[in-house]
Chains A and B, each alone.
Chain A
């Protein structure tokens, strides 16, 4: 699955809605080299559309507002939001599956019980 990680100062960017860069990794391809993309400036929905157009199917990010998260879900992107930490630690956690199943310590402060925000196209927000 092609996964994008928002990045700022070598950490997960604090707010997806205004993030400017993502690091992309295709975990289905062994030893795939990560690539970096610049997100469109301004509107958060354009960022979602851009990622969908790049074939991204999973987004790991910091805080993300509910409408934007819904738009990502509708565009077929699974969102693992409210993640914090060094980008390499987060990628490792994603690679070994602990980020996906929620058994990790990479949550943003005050977001200890959060797991996946939504999964797959067309699913509504999770409570």
Chain B
């Protein structure tokens, strides 16, 4: 609602301003802008000095390296061409190296005398930036984190001690950003909403877990992830909460609530969990699958042997498929091409030969590769089967006539026709999380990030769920009772917001859910004291995966169902609470202000007894411990920010 109000105000402001005919801005605008600029100038002085010192050091180092290259190149050219001259003089290179270099430098100076600095130029006059096909939607705020020393920032983008090689072949950076950029998007943090202003909370479900695995990869490499990489709902949805599956219905819904103390500023709040579990389908009842792999074999995929991991993951998937399934493969480097037409699993050797033959090459013509993949999928399309394109990439698209908007449009159109897409992300450094997530979202499939073979195994362990969708366009609307609930905030799902009025508008996109998959949404609630009754009614609306028939059901949750304390709730709810706190702290949410990771870690450790054989929970505790250590290390470093100056994400 608040977002709508802001959008409305902005539009009205722009409309009224459009009536202005003056070529001079208002005096007030000029004065306000001068004041703001001077404030910025004063506030930013220390930070800039710090950056400027770093930049100086960086420039100095770069210049030294460049100088070494120049010297080496000059030496080489001198050794190659005037070799005969020197030979004629019977002089040894070793004795004359220094002089030769000096001579070469003098020569270079004569040929290229130092130029006066060029006057200020515009983009048009300077080398034009190529129209970038990989440009992300202009409304997005793209952040990138360059490889840099850990102490430069409290949040470090990627490994500081790893000198990752530059991408081969496809070295044209996406959007003109450095090749090692990691692209994430800041979706903001949901605010507390007064039920008097808006008692409806509507969102599209999300079963992705890419954000968790990507952040795990950061932490395992000894770095804190960018806070924009953290999507709370994807952290929460990574874990299995053991919701019982429905027997007949498409969904079962589960509620739980407990008193919750998180962050310094709030007391007497509650955490409410809404869990949705989709119908399970036995593997033998799964529909036959026509899968089209579109594999990125560009230069960037040779980094950290991303392509090797793709091959291993695909081999794993092929092993789990049935004889009535089919696989086709398209690849894209500098150009897209088909390398295997759709082949039945009874010819597994042919499929495996095609997978083994993949080699990285050239730049990244994602658009062409995706088009070819979809052409193949359309040709092999069988109504009633699972028709799915599986894209394996690091999300970097730097060649092609059109931008990602066009790619996303193609994917959306095809998804509407029944060819869905799953985006599997590979790679750390030069990785585009934003595009991969959008591809999975628009393609009515899912987005997963694969950093290890174990992750691939985990993903394909429920292959039926990964492939067969049981409900499409699933939307959830929670109608809070203003007599009981004073205010609420949805934790996460910031990029899955649906306007309240669009809940029953079936043209508006929701989320897809695979067989046996579950999804969890958490709300922090402030309740009116000593009131009893219905807290909320939750409506779930979805389309049948095959017939597209729309169904809706609702469930109520009462105050009497709130647990008396944290010890009275299920272990799985306690786990969800810990995961939420971890993600909120990692993304520096405004609502995590004053929260202490050590406290959350202690709660997580208590849970290990209840989840003794659960590798995911063991790993979570390990990751939280690492994070705690990294935060402590950062706090000890010279450039650590004062707690008061940590910039928490404002709702």
Bound together: no
Contact residues of A with B, CB < 8 Å? none
